[in-house]
């Protein structure tokens, strides 16, 4: 211990004599360690940290797999919940939950938009999370006349100012008077990091949920203690066989798959985060190589000191330990600064991440700090070991000889050159990755979405699935849509069309780029395929002005219009891709298709005549290939719907196109639309206001996010590589000052000296670029899933990055080369 403390004191004294060296090393290491710790903190929050529930490893998600398509999955029908409970011995309980849905609260003044989840009463018990106020749901809450809700801590704080007497307060949701019975703890927001305002109980045993093709709630199961996933899966396989025998029409070939809840929520994120972690590992390696080069140079200048210490009795192990102690001190200092950079990096990540899952749970915890410490000590070993071994081999006789620097640096100069080449090669890999991401995002931004997004403002209106708009038929599995719904939207569009500055307007059931409801269909006059082989296409419910508002081109026939009403022949407009796939050699106009969606009643499954063909648009985002699509008029919809499928009739996105040069401003349009909605129903809010251009930008937000991160890491790598080349060339100039003086004394011009010095740096950079290109050729395939419109082997990107790196290398060489060209020959010759 005494000798260790002596080494630490000696290390501090030695480092204090070279503050410039210490600053460069600490900053280099901090950049590498900080980048690694930032991405590790994300991995920790998303993949490594257990979910905040009791025994989260026992929580499973149940999925249903399609016949012949084991990778395709949907939530099991709600009706199968009782089957799962009755036929298993491996689960303590099973609950159902929906994705996050939007709604609004009325009866409290201004309508309040909310985000909610439908859950079965046992939901909170399955997660084993209790309220901080009141209670959670019980069976009696399922009676229609006693609607209860549980609210989140954030909503309790925001809306009710943490009022402890909130229990028992009532307001109207989905047209039903609802009573608050509980408040959940802070931070409880299952499952995707979404902020949830409240939970609404549903009764899975109601008649409207008895259909076995109604897939919209996800089962969450808690396994019994001691039960393995394999055991539970085997039992669910048996349950699937029983269901297939009992319900062959809907369950033939259908399987049941168990997935751990954490894997279900965040498993796919690993495919995104691990390539990023690989990128920051490269940054750290570059930093270590850079520091190793600096240490070699420092060791070279201290060879006499080490030789004298060896001559006085210091063993090789003691010299190595002393050097490693100095390395550890610098690494720990770099780690300490890296912690500060990690804090800043986490904040930057949250800013850039947008709606990244669970982003708010990313923080600096004990595991991240331990990771930072471990990485710091490992880097000390990586960059300090080789210089330490070289220092321990110092020879006193050689060190005391005149001109020893020139006679002993050949092998060490070679090793420094190798390290510089390695830095450039690693930087080449990261810069190629960043370049590919940049080109991919540029390609996405230039992709034609199939319509003109400029001058289009979007906003959403959602009528409640209850009250005067929807009647849940007692003793039936169906809900009846009131005539008030199409009347509301018809009158709303009339009022919007009259707003000054609105050139055209329409609405759609789902905002383009966000996908649409997929429905099976059959073509009249052709043999009906088996149900499991029925063709599918995406679909929107639209108003007559939808196509004009987005300027979607009409290729054949006509658009839907106000004459497409319920008592006339039902119509459908199809996309070009639909026509090409299902009518490749004939005119589709006049043909009839029958749509057979899971939630459609018999009245909704009547033939629709194809009246028009429109151009393909980016229904699923510009990064995905256009798929077959169908467009239905909101005026030609059935009255009866099964289960939750009625929601698509109630939730509409408004689209308002303004003329070029419109100066009224979007705020004025939004205010006018809100006034129109309030005039028709004062309890309905207008939400999610954005331009169509913003919606398109949002559809590529993931690609843009990874581009920014890769670009940031690549910039750090390029900076470190430039520092490495600068250090090598500076040391080269220092060691060759005498030789340069001789050359200049013999008549060498400054330009020739600059060329000689810069040539070395460019040669090292060229070697690094070639090696790095080979590495990038293999490694960039790992990010191919993020690329669009560009291949992982794109030669243009490789060429531009190579030119960029060589240019950076030349700049790094220029200052030491210029200094070399200014050497005074007399002073240089007098040096030895």
Q: Which helix (H) or strand (E) holds 462?
A: strand 456-462
Model confidence over 222-278: pLDDT tens digits?
A: 999 999 999 999 999 999 899 889 888 888 888 889 999 988 888 888 888 888 899
Rounded to 5 degrees, φ, ψ at 640 are -105, 140
- 194-203, 397-406, 577-586, 614-623: least confident range: 397-406
Q: pLDDT tens digit string along 555-578?
A: 999 999 999 998 899 999 999 999
The confidence band for 108, taking pLDDT boundaries of 50, 70 and 90, is: low
State residue 18's pLDDT score: 80
- The string of DSSP letters for 27-71 reads HHHHHHHHHHHHHHHHHIIIIISPPSSSSGGGEEEEEEEETTEEE
The whole-model pTM stands at: 0.81
**What average pLDDT score do residues 334-340 get?**
93
Q: Indicate if 426 and 367 belong to the same structural domain.
A: yes
Per-residue CA distances from 400 to 67, 316, 557 (Å): 82, 19, 95
Pair of tokens at residue 166: 């909130």
Quickly count: other Cβ atoms within 10 Å of residue 633's Cβ. Answer: 26
Average pLDDT of the chain to the nearest whole number: 84
| Rounded CA separation 227/94 (Å) | 15
Query: What is residue 224's DSSP assignment?
Result: P
What are 426-445's pLDDT values in tens digits? 999 999 999 999 999 989 88
Indicate if 159 and 220 belong to the same structural domain.
yes
Does residue 749 lie in a domain region? yes
Measured between alpha carbons, how far is 639 from 486 in angstroms, rounded to an integer? 11
Q: Are 142 and 120 in contact (CB under 8 A)?
A: no
Which of 253, 284, 303 delimits the end of a domain?
A: 253
Tell me: do 98 and 206 sit in the same domain: yes
Between helices 750-779 and 795-821, what is the axis angle to 10°? 150
The average pLDDT across 776-799 equals: 87
Whether residue 385 is found in the same domain as residue 355: yes
Q: What percent of the chain has pLDDT over 90?
A: 40
CB burial of 218-229 (b: ≥16 within 10 Å; e: otherwise) equals: bbbbbbeeebee
In a domain, 51, yes or no: no
Q: Which of 680, 714, 744 is the last residue of a domain?
A: 680
CB neighbours of 721 closer than 8 A, spacing ≥ 6?
Answer: 286, 290, 423, 424, 426, 427, 768, 805, 808, 809
Residue 403 has pLDDT above 50, yes or no: no
From 253, 281, 300, the end of a domain falls on 253
pLDDT band of residue 407 (cuts 50, 70, 90) is: very low
Is 157 among the domain residues?
yes
- Shared-domain flag, residues 436 and 468: no
Q: Same domain, yes or no, for 287 and 213?
A: no
> Can you give the C-alpha Rg of the chain in angstroms?
34
Least confident of 2-11, 21-30, 429-438, 598-607: 598-607
How far is it, in rounded angstroms, from Cα 272 to Cα 711?
Answer: 15
Nearest residue to 668 (alpha-carbon basis) of 551, 500, 797: 500
Give the domain range for residue 421: 2-46+268-445+702-830
Helix (H, G, I), strand (E, B) or coil at 105: strand
Which residues contact residue 520 at a Cβ distance below 8 angstroms, ignoring those fewer than 6 apart? 531, 534, 535, 536, 595, 596, 597
| Model confidence pLDDT, tens digit, residues 499-542 | 999 999 999 999 998 888 888 899 998 888 877 678 889 999 99
The length of the chain, given as a count of residues:
832
Confidence at residue 780, expressed as pLDDT on a 0 to 100 scale: 83
**Region for 790 from its dihedrals, namely left if φ exceeds 0, alpha if ψ lies in -120 to 50, beta otherwise:** beta
327 within domain boundaries: yes
In this model, does residue 126 exceed pLDDT 50? yes
Burial of 249 (0-12, 13-18, 19+ CB in 10 A): exposed
By the 8 A CB rule, do 178 and 146 touch?
Answer: no
Percent of the chain with pLDDT over 70: 87
**Can you name the residues that pair with 640 across neighbouring β-strands?**
480
Predicted local confidence at residue 824, as pLDDT? 66
**403 occurs within a structural domain:** yes
Across 739-749, average pLDDT: 74
277 shares a domain with 177: no
- In a domain, residue 689? The reply is no
Within this chain, do residues 207 and 279 fall inside the same structural domain, yes or no?
no
Q: Are 35 and 284 in contact (CB under 8 A)?
A: yes
Question: Which is more confidently placed, 207 or 470?
Answer: 470
Same domain, 612 and 709: no
Beta carbons within 8 Å of 606's beta carbon, 6+ residues apart? 570, 594
Does a structural domain hold residue 85? yes
Asked if the bond preceding 412 is cis, omega within 30° of 0, the reply is no
Residues 612 and 482 in one domain: yes
Task: Give dist(CA 608, CA 311) in Å, integer.
Answer: 98
72 versus 371: the higher-pLDDT residue is: 371
**Number of independent structural domains in the chain:** 3
Q: Which has more pLDDT, 316 or 646?
A: 646
**CB hemisphere CA count around 36 (13 angstroms):** 30
Examine the domain organization and report whether 706 and 643 are in the same domain.
Answer: no
Summarised one tens digit per residue, pLDDT across range 46-60 is 888 888 889 999 999
Of the candidates 518, 517, 58, 77, the residue with the CA atom closest to the CA atom of residue 256 = 77
**Distance between CA atoms of residues 183 and 132, nearest Å:** 6
Q: Count CB neighbours of 55 within 10 A.
A: 12
Weakest-pLDDT range from 68-77, 419-428, 778-787: 68-77
How far apart (Å, rounded) are the C-alpha atoms in residues 326 and 339? 20
| pLDDT tens digits along 265-316 | 888 888 888 888 999 999 999 998 888 888 777 776 666 666 666 666 665 6
Residue 120 in this model has a pLDDT that exceeds 80: yes
In a domain, 434, yes or no: yes
CB 429 within 8 A of CB 286: no
Q: Does residue 326 sit in the same domain as residue 243?
A: no
């Amino acid at each position: 211990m005494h000798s260790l403390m002596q080494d630490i004191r000696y290390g501090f004294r030695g480092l204090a004599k070279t503050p410039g060296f210490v600053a460069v090393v600490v900053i280099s290491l901090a950049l590498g360690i900080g980048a690694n710790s930032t991405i590790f903190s994300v991995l920790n929050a998303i993949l490594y940290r257990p979910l905040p529930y009791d025994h989260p490893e026992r929580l499973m998600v149940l999925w249903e797999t399609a016949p012949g398509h084991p990778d395709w999955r949907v939530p099991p029908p709600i009706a199968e919940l009782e089957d799962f409970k009755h036929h298993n011995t491996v689960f303590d309980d099973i609950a159902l939950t929906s994705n996050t849905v939007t709604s609004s609260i009325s009866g409290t003044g201004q309508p309040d938009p909310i985000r909610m989840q439908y859950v079965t009463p046992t939901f909170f018990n399955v997660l084993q999370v209790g309220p901080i106020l009141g209670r959670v749901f019980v069976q009696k809450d399922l009676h229609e006349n006693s609607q209860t809700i549980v609210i989140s801590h954030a909503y309790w704080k925001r809306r009710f100012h943490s009022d402890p007497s909130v229990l028992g307060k009532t307001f109207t949701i989905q047209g039903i008077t609802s009573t608050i019975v509980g408040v959940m703890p802070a931070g409880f927001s299952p499952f995707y990091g979404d902020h949830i305002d409240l939970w609404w109980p549903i009764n899975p045993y109601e008649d409207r949920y008895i259909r076995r093709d109604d897939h919209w709630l996800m089962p969450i199961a808690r396994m019994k203690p001691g039960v393995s996933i394999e055991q539970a899966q085997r039992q669910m396989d048996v349950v699937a066989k029983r269901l297939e025998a009992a319900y062959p029409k809907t369950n033939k070939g259908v399987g049941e798959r168990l997935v751990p809840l954490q894997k279900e929520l965040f498993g796919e994120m690993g495919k995104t985060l691990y390539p990023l972690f690989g990128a920051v590992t490269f940054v750290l390696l570059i930093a270590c190589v850079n520091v190793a080069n600096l240490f070699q140079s420092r060791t070279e200048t201290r060879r006499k000191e080490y030789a004298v210490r060896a001559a006085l009795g210091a063993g090789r192990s003691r010299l190595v330990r002393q050097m490693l102690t100095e390395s550890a001190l610098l690494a720990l200092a770099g780690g300490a600064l890296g912690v500060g950079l990690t804090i800043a990096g986490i904040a930057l990540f949250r800013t850039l991440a947008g709606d990244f899952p669970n982003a708010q749970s990313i923080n600096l915890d004990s595991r991240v700090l331990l990771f930072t410490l471990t990485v710091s000590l490992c880097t000390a070993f990586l960059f300090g070991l080789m210089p330490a071994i070289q220092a321990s081999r110092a020879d006193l006789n050689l060190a005391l000889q005149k001109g020893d620097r020139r006679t002993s640096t050949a092998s060490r100069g070679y090793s420094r050159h190798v390290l510089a080449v390695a830095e450039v090669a690693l930087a080449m890999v990261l810069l190629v990755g960043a370049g590919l991401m940049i080109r991919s995002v540029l390609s996405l931004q230039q992709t034609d979405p199939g319509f003109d997004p400029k001058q289009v403002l979007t906003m959403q209106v959602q009528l409640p699935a209850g009250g005067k708009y929807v009647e849940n038929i007692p003793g039936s599995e169906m809900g009846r849509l009131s005539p008030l719904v199409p009347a509301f939207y018809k009158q709303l569009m009339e009022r919007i069309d009259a707003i000054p500055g609105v050139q055209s307007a329409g609405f759609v059931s789902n905002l383009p780029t966000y996908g649409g409801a997929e429905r099976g269909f059959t073509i009249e006059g052709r043999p009906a395929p088996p149900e499991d082989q029925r063709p599918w296409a995406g679909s929107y419910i639209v108003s007559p002005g939808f196509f004009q508002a987005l300027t979607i081109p009409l290729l054949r026939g006509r658009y839907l219009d106000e004459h497409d009403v319920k008592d006339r022949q039902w119509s459908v407009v199809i996309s070009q891709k639909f026509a090409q796939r299902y009518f490749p050699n004939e005119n589709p106009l006049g043909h009839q298709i029958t749509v057979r969606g899971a939630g459609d009643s018999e009245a909704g499954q009547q033939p629709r005549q194809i009246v028009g063909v429109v151009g393909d648009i980016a229904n699923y985002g510009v990064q995905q290939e256009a798929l077959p699509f169908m467009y239905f008029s909101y005026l030609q919809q059935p009255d009866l719907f099964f289960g939750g499928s009625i929601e698509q009739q109630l939730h509409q996105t408004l689209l308002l196109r303004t003329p070029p040069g419109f100066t009224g401003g979007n705020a004025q349009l939004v205010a006018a639309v809100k006034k129109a909605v309030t005039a028709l129903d004062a309890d309905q809010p207008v939400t999610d206001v954005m331009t169509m251009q913003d919606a398109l930008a949002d559809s590529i937000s993931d690609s843009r996010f990874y581009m920014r991160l890769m670009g940031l890491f690549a910039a750090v790598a390029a900076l470190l590589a430039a520092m490495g080349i600068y250090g090598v060339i500076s040391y080269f100039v220092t060691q060759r000052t005498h030789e340069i003086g001789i050359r200049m004394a013999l008549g060498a011009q400054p330009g020739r000296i600059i060329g000689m010095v810069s040539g070395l740096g460019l040669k090292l950079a060229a070697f690094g670029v070639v090696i790095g290109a080979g590495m990038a050729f293999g490694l960039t395939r790992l990010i191919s899933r993020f690329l669009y419109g560009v291949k992982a082997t794109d030669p243009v990107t490789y060429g531009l990055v190579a030119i960029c790196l060589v240019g950076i290398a030349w700049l790094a060489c220029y200052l030491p080369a210029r200094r070399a060209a200014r050497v005074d020959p007399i002073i240089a010759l007098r040096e030895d």
